[in-house]
């Protein structure tokens, strides 16, 4: 699945999200964290980045082969206690969904998590997803 970065609201978050307006990004996962729907992409620095889906153009695409889906504890919060369980849902490669610590490991730049991310990114590129 690919998504095109668009201009809307991007400037106010430019320093936090190293993404280029007009560039197409390969989406390796999606999540709902607190009340934000995010795409997991490789940013312009080459690392994993959970960026708000609102940064990208609207599109329709099939769910990539091999993706999984999981609900997280935040689904029960209904917005009231979301601060204690902010994760609501996640889609993507099996380890992203099956290992509750994988997303945090990506954000912490842990070598094993980055190697896994790179492996799935290379496989998606090779399959022509980008």
d(CA 86, CA 76): 10
**Could you tell me what percent of the chain has a pLDDT over 70?**
78
Task: Give the residue, 106 or 10, on which the prediction is more confident.
Answer: 106
For 99, residues 6+ apart whose C-beta sits below 8 A from its C-beta are: none
Q: Lowest-confidence range among 10-14, 39-43, 75-79?
A: 10-14
Q: Which residues, including other chains, have CB under 8 Å from residue 107's CB and lie 6 or more apart?
A: 48, 50
Which residue range is the domain that position 11 belongs to? 2-126
* Three-state secondary structure call for residue 37: strand
Summarised one tens digit per residue, pLDDT across range 69-126 is: 998 877 666 656 555 567 789 999 999 999 989 999 999 999 999 999 999 999 999 9
Return the pLDDT at 83.
56
Q: How confident is the model at residue 59 (pLDDT cuts 50, 70, 90)?
A: confident
Q: What is the mean pLDDT of residues 22-50?
A: 93
Q: How many domains does the chain have?
A: 1
Top-confidence residue, 12 or 36: 36
Residue 11 binned pLDDT confidence (cut-offs 50, 70, 90): low
């Amino acid at each position: 699945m690919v998504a095109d970065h668009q201009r809307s609201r991007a400037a106010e978050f430019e320093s936090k999200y190293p993404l280029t307006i007009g560039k197409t990004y390969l989406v390796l996962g999606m999540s709902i964290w607190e009340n934000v729907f995010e795409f997991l992409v490789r940013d312009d620095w080459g690392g994993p980045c959970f960026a708000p889906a609102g940064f990208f153009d609207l599109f329709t695409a099939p769910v990539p082969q091999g993706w999984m889906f999981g609900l997280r504890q935040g689904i029960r919060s209904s917005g009231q206690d979301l601060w204690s369980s902010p994760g609501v849902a996640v889609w993507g490669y099996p380890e992203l969904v099956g290992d509750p610590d994988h997303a945090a490991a990506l954000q912490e730049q842990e070598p094993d998590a980055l190697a896994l991310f790179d492996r799935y990114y290379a496989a998606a590129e090779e399959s022509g997803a980008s």
